[in-house]
Amino acid sequence: MRELANSMIDLVLGRTCAGCDEPGIGLCDGCTRALQPRVRLRRDLDVGDVVEGLRIPVVCALDYRGIVRQVLYRYKDHRIRQLAGVLGPALGLSVAFAADRAGVPARVALLTPMPTRRDSLRRRGFDATALLANEASKHVATSGIRHLLVDTRTGGAAKHVGAFERELRAIDAFRVRRERALPTKPVILVDDIVTTGSTTKEAVETLLMAGVQVVAVATVAGTP
């Protein structure tokens, strides 16, 4: 009966696979297999200009290309919130691997989502990164989630610009929330995608300069 009901929904709504556009399927078997995590260290982020000798592991669970790229695009730009449940396990594994790489038990670490621009929040109607963090927390035990950063940028999104322009746009892109005392627990910054690392570096450095103990960055996907 459930399969029949899903088929009827597909027929009426014209539902297609978020990864390959196969008609009548929420997420097909092939795309589901393509989203199986293969966690890896994407890079060690050099923040020695803030804390001498410090390098922060940046971890991703999927390669940002093909089906993975399409599903993330559908999730954010087509506002298909249900895909957070598909991507959450990958981020959860990324968090666990990042904590281990940093030498910190995941259960004592605090997750802080990369902040979303206000214009993106208005356009999508939800915080895509925060929702992913919530889904990830169902798959890895941590000490909780707390929003520590605000994105102060007002320009357009940087997804189609080059590495140099990304670096320029990232300068002074964030500020730390001051509503409450800052945490003393180790913090893992979480995000959906890491590409050049410029924005990630700026976010990590902003937290470090405020006295937050950032130990790692965990993402769903990274560029190969």
Domains and CATH numbers, the chain: 1-34 (no CATH), 37-222 (3.40.50)
Predicted local distance difference test score (pLDDT) of residue 169: 56
Tokens coding 130: 């925060």
Q: How far is CA 169 from the centre of its chain?
A: 19
Supply the mean pLDDT for the chain. Answer: 88
Query: Which mean pLDDT values do the consecutive 10-residue runs of the chain (224 residues) have?
Result: 41 68 80 95 96 97 97 94 95 98 97 93 93 98 97 67 54 86 96 95 96 97 94
List Cα–Cα distances, 218 to 90, 188, 197, in angstroms: 10, 7, 12
Residue 2 · residue 10 · CB < 8 Å: no
Predicted local distance difference test score (pLDDT) of residue 23: 78
What are the helix (H) ranges across 36-117?
66-77, 84-102
